[in-house]
Amino acid sequence: MMKLLTSGGLGDAAMSLAKIHAKFSHCIDDIEVTHVRVRDDNLYDPIREFYDTQSIKNKVIKIPSWDWKIENRNNYEHFLGSNWGVDNHGDESSWEIEPFPVIKYSKFKPDSIIINPTSGGKEEISKRFAKSDVESFILDWPEAIIIGKGSDGYDDYPNSLYNKTDMKTLVNLIASSGIVISPEGFVPYFAAMCGCKVYIKNENVEAINKRKHPKWDMTIVDDLTLTESKE
């Protein structure tokens, strides 16, 4: 069993999957990923469940500090990281992702429009579109499917799956879609590697630029007018 190490949030899990497929797609069954984190939030189970949807054996563990990663590095053959290229910016280098890995999913409403109003594992550090803008967008695009989790009150729209999806359903939805609109995080990165047209909000642009593969159809926007950001 090849033991791999990575770290970060749910979006980083998606990037780590793309790293795996770049070098080890031929031996997925013989891989185990240990995904380490220091933050207290609600993303531990979703990260584990995401790897499960892609048949990646995994452990998602909370470590006392980042020193643990240094002290235990020799127990793992490779460190994956979460940037699109070789350089993981301040972390151990690895290799370029596979920008379009083979994703395991079941078709669901193909080529639909998906909007994810909020992103982030903690309310105080979440990224979001203004609720009034989301409501206006849904009036203009009533067929759009709302996804995500939170307390923002998007549950009652006719096409809303807000607070109503497990990870397997979320993967199926995103991978089946044509257009995905979201703040920075798991949803836009995973959507881009599924080949979707992605509009990503201009919060945490530094992180976006580290993860955005040149082959992805991803546009950084200011708001839900979907005007390209000048930042």
> Which residues, including other chains, have CB under 8 Å from residue 191's CB and lie 6 or more apart?
114, 174, 177, 180, 182, 198
Question: Structure tokens of 9?
Answer: 């949030």
Strand pairing partners for 138? Answer: none
Is 86 among the domain residues? no
Residues of the chain where predicted confidence (pLDDT) is lower than 70:
121-125, 231
Is 99 among the domain residues? no
Total tally of structural domains belonging to the chain: 2
Same domain, 197 and 120: yes
Q: Which of 79, 100, 135 is the last residue of a domain?
A: 79
Determine the Cα–Cα distance for residues 197 and 192; give it in Å rounded to an integer.
7
The domain that contains 34 carries what CATH number?
3.40.50.10770
Question: Which own/partner contact pairs does 133-142 have at CB distance under 8 Å and 24+ positions apart?
Answer: 133/223, 133/224, 134/224, 136/224, 137/181, 137/224, 141/113
Amino acid at 153: G
Domain range for 53: 2-79
Same domain, 145 and 213: yes
Q: pTM for this one?
A: 0.95
Question: So what's the pLDDT on residue 123?
Answer: 57
Question: So what's the pLDDT on residue 231?
Answer: 63
Question: So what's the pLDDT on residue 152?
Answer: 82
The domain that contains 195 carries what CATH number?
3.40.50.2000
Is 145 among the domain residues? yes
Same domain, 119 and 208: yes
Same domain, 117 and 216: yes
Same domain, 123 and 215: yes
Question: Structure tokens of 120?
Answer: 């982030």
Question: So what's the pLDDT on residue 79?
Answer: 96
Neighbours of 224 (CB within 10 A): 22
Question: So what's the pLDDT on residue 110?
Answer: 77
